[in-house]
Structure 1
Amino acid sequence: MDRLRKYIINNLYMIFLSMFMPLFAIASVIFMIKLATYTAVIQLTLWDMVKLYLFVLPEILFYTLPLTFFIAATLSLFRLSTDNEMVVLFALGIHPKFIIKTLFKPAALLSALLMFNFLVLFPHATTLSSNFVSYKKSEAKFNLSASEFGHSFGDWLLYIGKDNENETYSDVILFNKNKKEEIIISAKRAEIINDAGILRLKLIEGEGYSYSKEEFSQIDFDTMYINDTMRTDLAVYRTPLEYWLSNDRKESKTHMMITDTLLSLFPLISLFLVVSIGVVHVRHQKGRIYLYLFLGVLLYYGATLGLQKSLVYYTIPTVVITWLIVTYIIYKKNIVERF
């Protein structure tokens, strides 16, 4: 029995890998095209693109693994059927439930991995990706250069005399005017500092003047910071549970929780359907396997998305119980009674 179990699993793994790599590559290309749209807003290096890709990697795996397992498991059984190996197994007294038990372990392992992926890894990856893009957007606002025209720097008008090679600036002048006073600051050198998402302008060796109707003041300084002119809004959370229970984007998280839970369970609760579609008697049955695969995926995903508005979280037990009952009836009628 162990050899037979290993033989079935090996067939599953071979087909799984041969299908997973193309699907993963296609999904990666789609997400990379989506990430490339960020370059219209912010400047990204090749390493920045790699970082963003790593942040969406859990999402890519989540949407490719369940579908790949369902199709690969069905096709592996169909291959054994077309080679008449499945008929031989049943002739030797192997019950169809042996196949269910054999596929149960990899299906349960995959479902557990998918649950961990979206419950734990997804909040981290989503937060890191969002913060990274926010940081880059704020950094883009500081894309300063020497020019005969000034730059808008928060409430300040900024003039830069010269760009230096070490990402610093020379002959910097800032001007601010409001109803009560006017302020002008000049510095020999300046540089941009990012401190935990807060971008600052550090001024070195300069002087400042303040003028109002009541007084005129002047200061000399070695170092001055212009703080909090442009703050990057970074998302912060301590645990995945805190992420899922927070009220931020609550409606979106509810939809995500329902959909991802059902997709995580898809490999496990579809084993009856996998055997029903994959196990055929070639001489007596026309294996419309690809049509059945398409209909199976369409019905499950359609029920997952279509029932959420009316049932909300009750969608999960409704779809799981209904799917198990219906697929078991199909399995008992097409497989158990026939083989």
Structure 2
Amino acid sequence: MLRLKKYILSNFSALFMSIFLPLFVIASVIFLIKLSTYTAVIQLTIFEMGKLYLFVLPEILFYTLPITFFVAATLSLFKLSNDNEIIVIFSLGIAPGFIIRTFFKPAFILSVLLAFNFLVVAPHTTTLSKNFLSYKKSEAKFNLAASEFGNSFGDWLLYIGAKNDDGTFSKVFLFNKKQEEEILIAAKKAKVINDSGILRLQLMDGEGYSYSKEKFSQINFQEMLINDTLKADLTTYEQPLQYWLSKENAGRKKHVFIKDTLLSLFPMITLFLIASIGIVQVRHQKSKVYLYLFVSIVLFYGMTIGLEKMFQYYTIPVVALSWLITTYAIYRKTIVNKF
């Protein structure tokens, strides 16, 4: 029995990798194209594009692995049926339930990994990706350059004499005109600093002038920080549970939780359907395995999305139990009663 189980799983693993790799590459290309659209708003280096890709990698794996498992397991049984090996297995007195038990362990492990992915890993990577893009957008607003027309920096008008190779600025002038007072600041050198997502302008070795109708004042400074900042809208959380329970984007989180929970359960609740589609009598049945695979995936996603508004969180047990009961009935009729 152990050798037979290893033989079935070896056929499954070979098909799994041959299906997973193309799906993974296609999904990666789609996500990279989506990421490239950000370059219309912000500047991204190749390293930063790779960083963003790593943030979406768990999401790519989450959506490709369940479908790959379903397709690979079904096609591996279909291959064994075409080679008449399934008939030989059943002729030796081995019940169809052995096939279900063989795939149960990898299905269970995959479901646990998928649940850990979307419950624990996804909140972290989603927050990192969102904060990174928010920071880059705020940095883009802070894209200072040497220009005779000046730059806008909050309430300040900023003139830069030259931009150095190390990213600092030379001969910097800031002007701020209020209702009753005007302020002029001149510095020999300045640089942009990032403090936890907040961008500030640090001025070094300069003078400041403040004048109005009543008074005129001057100060000399070695270092000054302009605190009228452009702040990135960053999201913080301490634990995954805090992320899921927070009210921010509550509607979207509920939709993701329902959909991803059912997708995590998909490998386990489709075991009976895998056997029903994959095990065929080649001499007496016309194979429609690819059609059944396509219809099954579309139907499962359709039920998940279609019933969500009606049942809310109850969509999870409704879809899971109805899918399990229906596929078991099909399994009993097409496999158990015949073999």
Question: How far has the Cα of 1:167 moved from its partner?
Answer: 1.0
Query: Superposed, which structure 2 residues align to 1:3-152 within 5 Å?
Result: 3-152=3-152
1:183 Cα deviation from its structure 2 partner: 0.5
Tell me, yes or no, if structure 1 residue 326 matches structure 2 residue 287.
Answer: no
Is the CA contact (8 Å cut-off) linking 1:198 and 1:228 kept in structure 2? Answer: no
Task: Give the Cα–Cα distance (whole angstroms) in 1 for the partners of residues 7 and 305 of structure 2.
Answer: 36
8 A contact 2:16–2:72 mirrored in 1: yes
Shift of 1:187: 0.3
Residue 311 of structure 1 aligns with an amino acid whose one-letter code is F
What TM-score does the superposition give when structure 2 sets the normalisation length?
0.99
Query: After superposition, where does 1:1-339 map in structure 2 within 5 Å?
Result: 1-339=1-339
Amino acid across the alignment from 1:97: G
Counterparts of 1:221 and 1:54 in 2: how far apart (Å)? Answer: 44
Do the aligned partners of 1:199 and 1:228 also contact (CA within 8 Å) in 2? no
SS in 1 for 2:42: coil
Deviation at 1:214, TM superposition (A): 2.8
CA RMSD of superposed structures (Å): 0.7
Shift of 1:212: 2.1
Note the C-alpha offset of 1:89: 0.2
Whichever residue aligns with residue 106 of structure 1, its letter is P
Number of corresponding residues: 339
- Give, in whole Å, the separation in 2 of the partners of 1:292 and 1:130: 38
Instruction: Measure how far apart 1:138 and its partner are.
Output: 1.3
State the shift of 1:287 in Å.
1.5
Report Cα offsets for 1:280-321 as digits up to 9, x if no partner: 010011111011111111111100110001110010000011
1:228 Cα deviation after fit: 4.1
3-state DSSP of counterpart to 1:234:
coil
Alpha-carbon distance in 1 for matches of 2:180, 2:19: 70
Equivalent position SS for 1:157: strand
Q: Does the residue aligned with 2:129 lie in a helix, a strand or coil?
A: helix
| Contact 1:187–1:207 (Cα < 8 Å) also in 2 | yes
CA apart distance, 1:103 = 0.2
Q: Summarize deviations over 1:89-137 as a string: whole Å, max 9, x none.
A: 0000010000000000000000000000000000000000000001111
1:239-285 Cα distance to aligned partner (Å, 9 max, x none): 00000000000000000000000000001000000000000010011
Offset from partner CA, 1:122-180 (integer Å, 9 cap, x none): 00000000000011111112221211111001110000011111111111000001112
SS of the aligned residue for 1:200 comes to strand
Partners of 1:72 and 1:214 lie apart in 2 by 83
Distance across 2 between alignment mates of 1:232 and 1:6: 53
SS at match of 2:122: helix
Q: Which amino acid aligns with 2:314?
A: Y
Unpaired runs of 5+ residues, structure 2, are none
List per-residue Cα deviations over 1:194-228 (Å, max 9, x = no partner). 11111010101100011123321110000001024
How far the C-alpha of 1:42 sits from its partner, in A, is: 0.4
Percentage identity across aligned positions? 66
Q: Which amino acid aligns with 2:140?
A: A
So what's the TM-score if we normalise by structure 1?
0.99
